[in-house]
Structure 1
Amino acid sequence: MTEVTPRLAEAEADVQALVESAMEPMLGVRFLATEYSTGPVHGGRIDSLGLDENGSPVIVEYKRATDPGVLSQGLYYMAWLMDHRDEFQALVRERLGVTPASAVLWSAPRLICIAGDFTRYDLHAVREHRRSIDLVRYRLFGDHHIALETVASVAGQGRSTQRRVGASAGHERTPRRQADAMAELAAVVDEVLRGLGEDVTKVPRKQYDAYQRLRNFACVTGRQDKLLVYLKAAPADVGLVEGFTRDVTGLGHHGTGDLEVQLRSEKDVERALELFRLSYAAA
C-alpha cells in the first residue's frame, strides 16, 4: 500500500490543460476556446471559455496556488464578455452550431476560478458581488487524479428570477385549485433542493429550472397534474417504480439527467429525497 499525498501542480498551465481536456465531466461545461484573446484594446487572454448545461456563458480562470488577483482578473474578463455578446455567440455558432448559439442564457453568465486556494478576502468579495461566481480549490493526487472542491458558490442576480413552474401555454384551462396545488408543490421541491447544500444555485430557463453545484444535479419542469424532476443519478442503480421513476436515457426531455422522477404530492417529495441526495452527491 502506498500513500498518495495531495499536491499542487508544477505550473498553472498543467491545471488548465487537465481541466480543459475533460471540462464537461468535471464542470458540466462544453469547451469552446483556450487563451482567448480579448483584442488589442482590452489587452488580455481569457484562460478558458465555455458554455454550461443551461446555455450560460462560462469563463474559467486558473491559478497554480493562492493568488489574490484571480477574482478581479476574472471579473475584468466578465465585463469584456458582456460587452462582446455577438462575438461570443459567433464562437458558439462556430464550435457547437446554430441551435446552442441562439439559446445562450445571458441572464446568468458564470465565472469559475480554479486555484490552489483562496484568501478570506476572496470569499467575502464573492458574497458581495452580483455575478454568478464559483471558487474551486484543486489538488492533484499522484499522476492521474485531480480533486475539485467548491469553496464558495454564489448565484448572480440573473439566477434569482422567480417564476411558477408549469405556467406555460395551454395551462390557462387548468383548474385554479390544481394550479395552486402545483405551485405549492414546486415551492416545496425548491426548498428541498436548495437545502441540500450551501453550494446549490438555481438557474431558471424557459422550459425548466436547473439546480446545480458545479454541474446540474436536478432539472424541474411542470405538467398540469405533476412535476417532473430529471436527476443525474444512474437509472441502472435505482429500483425503478412505475408511475414514480423512469429511465429516460436517449429520450428527449427538457433539462439534463437520465432519471425522471414524477411528483404529485409532498409524500412523493419525501420518497424522492434519497434520489435527490444521490444526484447532488454525483454533481
Structure 2
Amino acid sequence: MSTLRLFSTQGGVTEVAPRLVDEEAEVQALVEGAMESMLGVRFLATEYFTGSVHGGRIDSLGLDENGAPVIVEYKRATDPGVINQGLFYMAWLVDHRTEFEALVRERLGATAASQVLWSAPRLICIADDFTRYDLHAVREHRRSIDLVRYRLYGEHHIALETVAASVATRAKAPTRLRRIGTAGTPPTQPSPAAIAYVASAVDELLLGLGEDVKKVRRQQYDAYQRLRNFACVTPRQDKLLVYLKAAPAAVDLVPGFTRDMTGLGHHGTGDLEVRLRSEEDVERAVELFRLSYAAA
C-alpha cells in the first residue's frame, strides 16, 4: 500500500483522499490519452487483438523513446496474475515482429518501423498495488518489467509510482573519481583513455542514481531510463555528450560545458546538453544528473 499523502493548501490544509477507478478501463483511458507525457511511450493501439489462435487482447501497445516495443497492462486493483498475463503477450509480440513493425509503420512512419529495438521489449504493469511475490519476481526476471502503482486524487490528479523494476546488473558507483588522463596531455585535448574513463564513470554514476534505472543500448547512444529516459550518452573522440531531461531554463548554462538544445536535433532525448572531457567535468555534472533523474 502506498504511503504517499497529498494535502491541499487552499483555504487551509486538508488531506486529499486517494481513490481507485471504478472500472479498469478508466485508468487505461487516462494513460492512453497522455501516454507520451506519463510513460515516455508513443501510443500505437488499444485492445490489440492477437488473433484467434493466441486468443487475447493487449491492453495498450506503444513504442518508447528508444524505439523499444512496449506492452502496457492495467488492473483496477491488486491482481497476482498481471505479470504472467503481460509476459504471455510479450511472447506473442516477440514472435510477431513483422506485424508489430507494420503497425508502427502505419501509425508512426517507415523510419520508426525500421528502427524498432527488439533487443529491449518492455512490459509496464499499472495497478492499485502488487503482491510481495510480484516484487520479487520482477527483480529476478530477465525481461524489462516495470510495476507501477496508480492513485487518483480528487477529480484532476493521477499519481504514478514505480514500485519495482527489472534492471541490468550494476557496478557500485565510485565514491571518488580517480585522476584520469595521460601525463602531459593538455586538458583541452583529452586522450582516448581519459574519455574512456569519463564514459565508465558516467555509466556508474547514472546507474547508481536509483534501483529503478535501466540502461538501453542503441547504435548511436546509450539511454538511461526510469519509466522515461533521463539521460542519453553519446561518445565523441574528444568528449562525452550527455543529454538530460532537466529543463535548460532551470540551469545556469556555462559556455563549453552546458547548452540548451531545445529544437536542435541530436541522438537520444533531452534538451540539456552536457559536455564532459575530464574528471572535474564529471564532478560538476553530478547534480545535473540527479536533477534529470528526479524529473523523469
Give the TM-score of the pair, scaled to structure 1: 0.92
- Alpha-carbon distance in 2 for matches of 1:223, 1:182: 8
Bigger radius of gyration: 2
2:150–2:160: 8 Å Cα contact kept in structure 1?
Answer: yes
Q: Determine the structure 1 residue equivalent to 2:195.
A: 182
Q: Distance in 2 between matches of 1:233 and 1:128?
A: 31
- Contact 1:66 1:115 (C-alpha < 8 Å) held by counterparts: yes
> Aligned-pair distance for 1:114?
0.3
Q: Distance in 2 between matches of 1:201 and 1:93?
A: 27
**What secondary structure sits across from 2:223 in the alignment?**
strand
Question: 1:178: Cα distance to partner?
Answer: 2.0
The structure with the greater share of residues assigned to helix is 1
Q: In 2, Cα distance between the equivalents of 1:144 and 1:276?
A: 30
Counterparts of 2:137 and 2:248, CA distance in 1:
40
User: SS of the residue aligned with 1:14?
Assistant: helix
Deviation at 1:156, TM superposition (A): 6.5
Which residue does the alignment assign to 2:133? Answer: 121
The aligned residue for residue 18 of structure 1 is 30
- The equivalent residue for 1:151 is 163
Q: Provide the C-alpha distance between the structure 1 equivalents of 2:138 and 2:261, rounded to a whole number of angstroms.
A: 37
Q: Structure 1 residue runs of 4+, over 6 Å off?
A: none
3-state DSSP class of the match of 1:280?
helix
- The answer to whether structure 1 residue 265 and structure 2 residue 282 are counterparts is no
Please give the alpha-carbon distance, in whole angstroms, between the structure 2 residues aligned to 1:264 and 1:179: 10
- Following superposition of structure 1 onto structure 2, how do residues 205-216 of structure 1 map, counting pairs within 5 Å? 205-216=218-229
CA contact (8 A) 2:168 2:215 kept: no
- What amino acid is the match of 1:237? A
**Residue aligning to 2:295:** 282
Maintained 8 Å contact 1:108/1:156 = no
What amino acid is the match of 1:267? E
Q: Indicate the residue corresponding to 1:84 in structure 2.
A: 96
Partner residue of 2:5? none
Partner of 2:111: 99
Q: Report the counterpart of residue 64 of structure 1 in structure 2.
A: 76
Give SS of 1:138's match.
Answer: strand
- Mapped to 1, the partners of 2:204 and 2:279 lie a distance apart of 12
Cα deviations by residue, 1:157-215 (Å, 9 ceiling, x for unpaired): 9x9xxxxxxxxxxxxxxxxx822221111110001111111100000100000000000
- The Cα shift of 1:126 comes to 1.1
Aligned to 2:16: 4
**Matched AA of 1:241:** V
Moved more, 2-11 or 84-93: 2-11
SS of corresponding position for 1:126:
helix
Q: Secondary structure at the match of 2:265?
A: coil
SS of aligned partner of 1:91: helix
Structure 1 distance, partners of 2:99, 2:63, is: 14
Tell me how far 1:34 sits from its aligned partner.
0.2
Task: Say whether the 8 Å CA contact 2:168–2:214 is kept in structure 1.
Answer: no
| d(CA) in 2 for partners of 1:129, 1:153 | 9
Asked if 2 retains the 8 angstrom alpha-carbon contact of 1:131 and 1:156, the reply is no
**1:168 aligned partner:** none
- Structure 1: give runs of 5+ residues left out of the alignment: 160-176
RMSD: 1.5
Distance 2:15 2:94 in 1: 46
Q: 1:237 to 1:156 in 2, by over 3 A?
A: closer
The number of equivalent residue pairs is: 266
Query: Alignment partner of 1:202: what SS?
Result: strand
Does the Cα contact within 8 Å between 1:57 and 1:109 map onto a contact in 2?
Answer: yes
Q: Which runs of 5+ in 2 are unaligned?
A: 1-10, 171-189
CA distance in 1, matches of 2:154, 2:168: 36
Instruction: Encode CA deviations 1:2-59: one digit per residue, 9 max, x unaligned.
Output: 4311111111100000000000010000000000000000000000000000000000
> Does 2:263 correspond to 1:250?
yes
| Alpha-carbon distance, 1:277 to partner | 0.8
Does the Cα contact within 8 Å between 1:133 and 1:156 map onto a contact in 2?
no
In 2, distance between residues paired with 1:196 and 1:6? 29
Contact kept in structure 2, 1:220 and 1:228, CA below 8 Å: yes
